[in-house]
Amino acid sequence: MDTESKTLRFDERSIQNMVRDEIDAAAKQPLLRGMAVFKDGRGNVLMIKKNLIVHRGRTYVLESLFKENSISGLGLTGESTTPFVADEIDRSIFLFGIGTGGVTGPDPFAPDPPQPENDELATIVPFRTVPTGTGLSSLEDTHYYGMNLFNTAPGTPEGGEDKYWLKRLNLATSFIPEWDITLGSHMISMKMTLDINQNDARSQGVNELALYMANKVAGGTPDPDFAEVEMFSRITFATEMLSGTKEITIEYYIFA
């Protein structure tokens, strides 16, 4: 039998088109995706939003799988101003941030969709702002990070104030995320819990949220500290005013 007659023949253009179709399909319904359930202090659901795992988050997942860390210099949007962190393929999602730049139009309840090339929140706001040198309590010191990280002059106080821009995930479970597996539907996810308490970002109208991957640094100040911080995913949503004692809990799922 002529085995050559059974060989499928594709030219390079056909192969490229098939790859492009698969990429388009994955972009519409990516295998790695996320969803966030926003709840008020009483547990009532405020909204449910899908997230966007941005270019850097997606490339990092592949870097980690294949132990290939040569992503820097490939020309993805955003890297020209802030080069991607290289040679750090063992980071984890430890932190989250919030911001007020998710809505640019006149309607505070009409958020702009996040874009794949986003590498930072549009207008990040600090969770806590304290007079320089005051610091936080010993317990809060383990919850808040990124002091002065996103200041106009990074690493320095602004106007005599220290600003804590990022917060730990999963405070109620000793910072450990939870598996969420439903075998019947083959649904596999990791659940993280994000807490915005009555002292966080007061009087801010927040409408964007991001997860951040980082390296944990033992023996830092605070201990542990975090380094090589980069945004993994971003969500935009209708503006929520953080006034009075209002609290929001976000149950954040990453599906695979």
**Residue 204 belongs to some domain of the structure:** yes
Judge whether 252 lies within some domain: no
Domain count, the chain: 1
What would the pLDDT profile of 113-164 be if each residue is shown by its tens digit?
A: 999 889 999 999 999 999 998 989 988 988 999 888 898 888 889 989 999 9
SS3 (DSSP) at 46: strand
Identify whether 114 is preceded by a cis peptide bond (ω within 30 of 0).
no
C-alpha closest to that of 256 among 65, 67, 68: 65
pLDDT at 115: 93
Token representation of residue 122: 């549009």
End-to-end CA distance of the chain: 43
pLDDT at 22 over 50: yes
Please check whether residue 24 lies inside any domain of the structure. no
Whether 20 is in a domain gets the answer no
Taking CA atoms, 79 is separated from 71, 163, 192, 252, in Å, by 10, 26, 28, 27
Residue 100 and residue 207 in contact, taking contact as beta carbons nearer than 8 Å: yes
Indicate whether 175 belongs to any domain.
Answer: yes
* Residues in the chain, total: 256
Asked whether 254 and 34 are in contact (CB, 8 A), the reply is: yes
CA separation for the pair 34, 52 (Å, rounded)? 7
Structural domain of residue 98, as residue ranges? 54-179+197-242
- What tens digit of pLDDT does each residue of 50-79 get? 899 998 898 888 888 887 766 655 555 444
User: Is position 152 within any domain?
Assistant: yes
Q: Could you tell me if residue 100 is inside a domain?
A: yes
pTM: 0.84
Q: Give all strands (DSSP E) within the chain, no chain letters.
A: 33-40, 45-50, 52-53, 92-99, 124-125, 128-131, 144-147, 161-168, 178-182, 187-196, 204-217, 225-242, 248-255
d(CA 147, CA 78): 23
Residue 228 within any structural domain of the chain:
yes
